[in-house]
Amino acid sequence: MTPELTASRGIVPGAAWPRRFGRAEFHLAVLLAGLAAVTLPTLFSLGRYHWSTEDGAHGPLILISGVWLIWRERESIRFRPGSIPNGWLALLAPLLMVYAYARSINMLGMETFCLYLMLVLLGFFYWGPAVMRRLWFAVLYLGFLVKPPYSTVAELTQPLKIGLSQLSVDFLAMLGYPVGASGALIQIAQYELLVAQACAGLSSLVTLLALGLLYIHLTRPVLGPRSLLLLLAIIPIALLANLIRVIILVLLTYHAGDAVAQSFAHDLAGIVTFTLSLLGMLAFDHLLTVMGRRR
């Protein structure tokens, strides 16, 4: 092939990059491969060890809705490497080292936290501060995917477990049931039930808080007093729904036996709890709207 024929076809002899696959495309391909190498294993671990439990069942829902929040802003997203100084990328090295260490010793909370920080940093570098400001809620919302440390969860849920146990016992004793409590352990007749952290409201509280933020973001672009009141109401709504759940499980144990209460009925009670919490949040929002119209 002669040099003239080669040049006429648009391929310069000795060129480093063909026109159909330039430096930007190669850069993007390497970036996507690197992201897949660190993101997919973590998502697999989350699905296997956290999202499959009652504490983390909200994970897939938050992931799908968070990706949708970013997708709906796709028209404003552009691939602009170097949107912030390259020196910021030096932070990737320690984050990646901590990420690898946490993954090697199965510290899923630290692993997800480091991955989250790396993705946010790369978002600033490749999309720019302006785009990240536009996506601020999606970035904050996806932070709910970070698995909290077990010690923190246990410390936060212990007062909730004891409080819900005592309130359940007081209510059932008032109805005449032979029930008592010692800490988070409830005894009714010959049965003993331990109120676990999943029944203490933290998992449903996190899920409801995330969905409440999403609901407010989509329905009220500008935050106001009613939005803040709705967020504050999420905590007592979730705790009240979980109190109902504990009472239902204790009554099922007493009337139908421990085997029934710990079978499908336990998962069904969790679905009922979340549904009640969601309906309670919507009902409170409707009440705030009605009160606002009357004023």
**Distance spanning both ends of the chain, measured CA to CA:** 84
CA distance 55 to 140: 20
- 187 strand-pairing partners: 180, 192
Give the residue numbers marked as catalytic.
199, 245
Q: Which residues contact 119 (CB under 8 A, 6 or more apart)?
A: 35, 39
Q: Which residues contact 28 (CB under 8 A, 6 or more apart)?
A: 79
Residue 203 token pair? 């998992």
- 180 strand-pairing partners: 187
